[in-house]
Structure 1
Amino acid sequence: MTRTLLAAFAIICGIWGTGTLAEDETSYSILGFEDLEDWAADDHAAALSVFRETCGDMRDPDWVALCRLAADTRDARQFFELFFRPVLIREPETAALFTGYFEPELDGSPVETETFRYPLYRMPTEAQENQPWLTRREILESGVMKDRGLEIAWVDDPVEKFFLQVQGSGRIRFPDGRVIRVGYGGANGHLYRSIGQELVRRGVYEPHQVSALVIANWVRRNPEDGMDLLMHNDSYVFFREVSEVPADRGPLGAMNRSITPERTIAVDPAFVPLGAPVWIEKEGEVPMHRLMVAQDTGSAIKGAQRADIFFGTGDTAGREAGRIKDGGRMVVLMPIQRAYALLPVQSQ
């Protein structure tokens, strides 16, 4: 970093102030790094490495400048503290919620067989051109997808297929040992509806009892009602094959770059810029205070204080992700000028 750049940002730092702005019922507060619990104890170099993975795809001039600086910096903690300010973004009466996601591995086949009967589809042209398109039930029961060559692979379990669509990406292992990777290829445009919440509404479970494993087991124990439950979610996800991504790399996120276990989160881009560093303070049985990078999105991830933590690939990652349903808070690290632009004039 040049002395001129450091001096320029030091001048900007001199306009330090705090405050909140209520606009469309959303408030913004600038915090100090000393307000972030366990900030000094984190591995800032690991977070910086993940930030570098996707910052080159950010087009706003503020982010472009910081990405260039990130390429040459040697002190990761100093980089974040010099050029960013922590911004707490809140919506009234909306508590923070952290969940987890992972990249599943499913058994499948490149052709339909008696065992492998449930197809993973590419997105048809009419779904791209007409949003919203058909509902999940209409897609699966109308026959609109048949005999069009849109199948990427077939899997053996409709429940696993449903959760693969929720996760958005995964690996499919064929009988001959070959493995392909699939990623998010689009959706039918309908809002995501939680089948866990529907089970609670029906009185089957209490909210604290619901998890992906609990839902999957209930659907399998109740095949007819279970299939009907899956249809409650009108949203339907299509896939694309992304087998060019190396096996030792994470799946592609919303920025079309590999994501990193326990350093990537999915966010609502209406509040958090994709590519931005985000400090999380997750509560629960296993607290997590860590600098993450917002590199992904999800149809169920809505709100300023909503985040999905990526835990990796396979069953172990799935078990870890499935246990997460915790409160806390998340704080977005914004370029200094952009952070202060969020505040009302009287607070600056």
Structure 2
Amino acid sequence: MAACSTPSVPPSVTPVPETPASKPAPAIKKPSVVWTKISDNQLPTDWQMESTLQAWQLGCKSLSLQEKWKALCAVNVAELEKPDWWKANFDIFQVSDGEGKDSGMLTGYYEPFLNGATQRSAKFAYPVYGVPTDLLTLDMATVYPDLKGARIRARLDGRKVVPYWSREEIELGKLPANTPVLAWVDDPVALFFLQVQGSGRIKLADGKQLRLGYADQNGYTYQSIGRELIKRGELTLDQASMQGIQAWAKRNPDKLQELLNTNPSYVFFRQLPTSNEGPIGSLNVPLTAGYSIAVDVRSVPLGTPVLIDTVIPNEKAPVKRLVMAQDTGGAIKGAVRADLFTGLGDAAGQVAGKMRQPLKYWVFWPKSAALPDGVVTTPAN
């Protein structure tokens, strides 16, 4: 935040007051997201719903605490398998941005495996940090209600509140000495992508696993290292997948840390109980492979059913699938933007790493429920 001041007018100059005619016309602020109500016969047909029920029921562990979802979450399981039930119980809106653009982008993320240990060694030299003891979270809405949802990560420097350490500063050893280290891993690129994914599992030498989930972040905006490599001419757009970046890192070990530092964002983790369920998303429920998406909550509230129309690598036909908005991500910003959770392990990573697909989607909102704050709606055509 920067302070600003109005310079004083020199005594020899008489200010000329603005008249209505001299004032510029006020700019019309366009909405960032628009929901346009449609009839159910305007939806794509032949939905994929193989794991829709599972994702919905897991989401209801959290959603059923809210009045608008309570009755819907109590419905008989057999009803949920029918597209007609969803059409009858929800108002349906196509999502677009303030410019009227109803197409966007779908990417993918997954839960990776990393090799690691609980003690540092020459092989396992890269720390996976828990939340630092000096990390502060400032909820700006407590002072400025208009900033609802805005949180600043900071630390104390004497009596001053200052921004938290950036990735480069963390790599230089600025974290407090008592910052918890949950594990040590053998690959700095794998650790970087663990932070991008937000969860993962560490395979230990004795065969056991540590399951890690997102705990907090240092407050900086995520910057894509793939986009940075494209800008530098090191990779083309087609090459800038997760696999392409990993290959570049192997060819350029001396340039790697400088590249990673161009993304100042840094993620801290917490240990979770080991289970066969997916990682815990922002809705605080396990994610379902292929049927949970991360969204920008300014566009789609968490828990909302979403019908996506897209193409997924390795699938021959276009995908029209009813999924659930159950997670968020630092890079997931915009009206028509989503990140599809593809599952656990290398095979899921191969799909997620290649995914940069065109996307349209429709949100299903409980009938008679108040619409989300900040969303502009337009009637059906």
Q: Under a length normalisation based on structure 2, what TM-score does the superposition of the two structures give?
A: 0.78
Matches within 5 A, 1:292-331: 292-331=323-362
Describe the shift of the 1:140–1:75 C-alpha distance in structure 2 as closer, same or farther (beyond 3 A): closer
Larger mean CA deviation between 131-140 and 182-191 belongs to 131-140
1:235, CA displacement in angstroms? 0.4
Give the 3-state SS of the residue equivalent to 1:191 in structure 2.
Answer: coil
Secondary structure (helix, strand or coil) at the match of 2:260 reads helix
Aligned residue runs from structure 1 range 170-185, under 5 A:
170-185=200-215
Whichever residue aligns with residue 327 of structure 1, its letter is P
Quick one: structure 1 residues 295 and 25, their matched pair in 2 at CA, closer, same or farther if it must change by over 3 Å? closer
Distance in 2 of aligned mates of 1:148 and 1:65: 47
Aligned to 1:261: 289
| Structure 2: distance between partners of 1:340 and 1:160 | 40
User: Cα RMSD (Å) of the superposition?
Assistant: 2.4
1:210 is matched with: 240
* 1:28 aligned residue: 35
Q: Deviations over 1:68-123 (max 9, x none)?
A: 33668465423211111221121145641001111000000011011000010011
Matching of residue 197 in structure 1 with residue 204 in structure 2: no
- The 3 A distance-change label for structure 1 pair 217 and 343 is closer
Closer, same or farther: CA 139–41 of 1 in aligned 2, 3 Å: closer
Contact 1:249 1:258 in 2 (8 A): yes
Alpha-carbon displacement from aligned partner over 1:303-334 (angstroms, at most 9, x marks no partner) = 12111111110001100111211102011111
Aligned to 1:82: 88
Asked if the contact 2:35–2:378 (Cα under 8 Å) also holds between the matched residues in 1, the reply is no
1:103 is aligned to 2:111 = yes
Residue number in structure 2 paired with 1:138 = 169
Task: Give TM-score scaled by structure 1 length.
Answer: 0.85
Alignment of 1:1-348 (within 5 A): 24-38=31-45, 40-43=46-49, 46-58=51-63, 59-69=65-75, 73=79, 76-92=82-98, 95-129=103-137, 130-131=153-154, 132-145=163-176, 147-148=177-178, 150-242=180-272, 244-246=273-275, 248-283=276-311, 286=315, 287-338=318-369
- Could you tell me how far apart the structure 1 residues matched to 2:347 and 2:234 are? 27
How many residue pairs are counted as aligned between the two chains?
A: 322
- Where 1:317 maps in the other structure, the secondary structure is helix
Aligned equivalents of 1:336, 1:104: Cα separation in 2: 38
C-alpha distance in 1 between matches for 2:121 and 2:32: 53
The separation in 2 between residues aligned to 1:49 and 1:154, in whole angstroms, is 34
Q: Where does residue 18 of structure 1 map in the other structure?
A: none
Mapped contact 1:83–1:335 kept (Cα < 8 A): yes
2:52 maps to a residue whose letter is: A
C-alpha contact (below 8 Å) 1:192/1:300 kept by paired residues: yes
Kindly state the Cα deviation for residue 245 of structure 1 after the two structures are TM-superposed.
4.1
The structure with the greater share of residues assigned to strand is 2
Q: Distance in 1 between matches of 2:350 and 2:224?
A: 19
**2:366 is aligned with what amino acid?**
P
Residues 128 and 70 of structure 1, relative CA distance in 2, 3 Å threshold: farther
> Tell me, which stretches of 5 or more residues in structure 2 are unaligned?
1-28, 138-152, 155-162
Deviation larger for 119-128 or 102-111: 119-128
Q: Residues of 2 paired with 1:117 and 1:187: CA distance?
A: 22
The aligned amino acid for 1:133 is Y
Residue deviations 1:33-87 (CA, integer Å, cap 9, x gap)? 332223x44327x313311211242354222232233668465423211111221
Percent identity of paired positions between Structure 1 and Structure 2: 37
* Greater alpha carbon shift after TM alignment, 336-345 vs 148-157: 336-345
Larger Rg: 2
- 8 Å Cα contact 2:294-2:327 kept in structure 1: yes
Letter in 1 for 2:339: D
**2:14 corresponds to which residue?**
none
In structure 2, relative to structure 1, the CA distance for the partners of 1:75 and 1:168 (3 Å cut) is closer
Q: Greater share of helix residues, 1 or 2?
A: 1
